[in-house]
Amino acid sequence: MIQFYSVTLGDTVFTIPTRYTELVRRGEGAQGMVCAAYDTVTQQNVAIKKLSRPFQNVTHAKRAYREFKLMKLVNHKNIIGLLNAFTPQKSLEEFQDVYLVMELMDANLCQVIQMDLDHERMSYLLYQMLCGIKHLHLAGIIHRDLKPSNIVVKSDCTLKILDFGLARTAGTTFMMTPYVVTRYYRAPEVILGMGYTENVDIWSVGCIMGEMIRGGVLFPGTDHIDQWNKIIGEDSLFYLHPMWWYISSSSPYFT
C-alpha cells in the first residue's frame, strides 16, 4: 500500500507518495500547479503537476484525459515524457485529484527569452521546437496553443514542449480558473475559431522566434480585435513576420 503525505503550497495542497520529497513550487498553468521534487526511488529530480479539479466540467475532464493519454503515448526527446501518475484517493467514489510526474526541466522559455541569447543557442532552441512539433504533427496532433510558458529548457540548452495544447472541445477560451489566457502566439484562425491546419503551430513558432530576436512580444494584442490589428499593422513589417513562415511551403520544416 502506497503511503501519502500532504504539503500546503499557497492555496494548493499536494498529497503525494512518500517516495517524493523536497517539494518546491515551480510554476502554475491553466491546469494547475507544478512542483519540483526528488524521487527517492529512481533518485532523480522530477516535476509533479496537480491537475486542478480535472472533473469540474466536461472541458476540463477532456483536457486532462487528452494530456494524460498523449503524454503517455508520445515518445520524443523534445516532448515532455510522463514518468508516473497517481491519485491519493482510494476509491472511485472519492476519486478527485490527478497528479502527473514528469522529467524536471530548469526554466520555461519566458525566462530564457529575457536573456541575451547568441545565434547558436537561438537556432538550437528553434530547431528543437520544430523537431518536437514535427513529431506531434506526424502523430496527427495539432497543438494550437504553443507559447513560451509551455516550452521548457535545461541549462544545457535542451528543450521540451510541455503540454498538448487545446483539446478540440476547448477551442474557446472558456476557463473556470483565474488563469489568464495568452493569445499573443495564436494564429488568426485559431483566435477566430475558424478551420485550421498544422500551420497554426508554425505561426506560433514564428512569433516565439521573433520574440527571441526582438526581446519583446511581437503581437501583444489586448483582445481579439487588437490582436488582429497588431498582426496586420505597419509595425509588424519591421519584424520577421510569422506570416512569411506560415505561407511559405518551401520552409525547411516542410521538406
Between 152 and 202, CB nearer to ligand AMP = 152
Measured distance CA(19)–CA(38) in Å, rounded: 8
Between 152 and 191, CB nearer to ligand AMP = 152
Q: Does residue 143 touch ligand AMP according to CB under 6 A?
A: no
Q: Which three cell numbers stand for residue 197?
A: 491546419
Between 28 and 189, CB nearer to ligand AMP = 28
Cβ of residue 48: shortest distance to ligand AMP, in angstroms?
9
Q: Does residue 149 touch ligand AMP according to CB under 6 A?
A: yes
| Contacting residue, 162, 167, 170, 207, with ligand AMP by CB under 6 A | 162
Q: Does residue 78 touch ligand AMP according to CB under 6 A?
A: no
Q: Does residue 218 touch ligand AMP according to CB under 6 A?
A: no
Of 39, 106, 116, 145, the active-site residue reads 145
Q: Is 201 a catalytic residue?
A: no
CA distances from 239 to 65, 209, 227 (A): 38, 10, 16
Q: Does residue 71 touch ligand AMP according to CB under 6 A?
A: no
Q: Does residue 227 touch ligand AMP according to CB under 6 A?
A: no
Q: Which stretch binds ligand AMP (CB under 6 A): 119-127, 148-156, 166-174, 197-205?
A: 148-156
Residue whose grid cell is 503525494: 16
**In the window 100-129, what residues touch ligand AMP (CB under 6 A)?**
102-105, 108
Give me the torsion for CA of 238, 243, 245, 246, rounded to 10°.
170
46 with 103: CB under 8 angstroms? yes
Q: Which stretch binds ligand AMP (CB under 6 A): 9-17, 82-90, 144-152, 225-233?
A: 144-152
Q: Does residue 29 touch ligand AMP according to CB under 6 A?
A: yes
Between 105 and 200, CB nearer to ligand AMP = 105
Cβ of residue 228: shortest distance to ligand AMP, in angstroms?
25
Cβ of residue 67: shortest distance to ligand AMP, in angstroms?
8
Q: Look at residues 208, 202, 212 and name the one whose alpha carbon lies nearest to residue 118.
A: 212
Compute the half-sphere exposure of residue 111: CA atoms within 13 Å on the CB side of its CA: 13
Q: Does residue 80 touch ligand AMP according to CB under 6 A?
A: yes
Between 109 and 231, CB nearer to ligand AMP = 109
Catalytic residues: 145
Q: Contact positions toward ligand AMP, by CB under 6 A?
A: 26-29, 31, 34, 47, 49, 80, 102-105, 108, 149-150, 152, 162-163
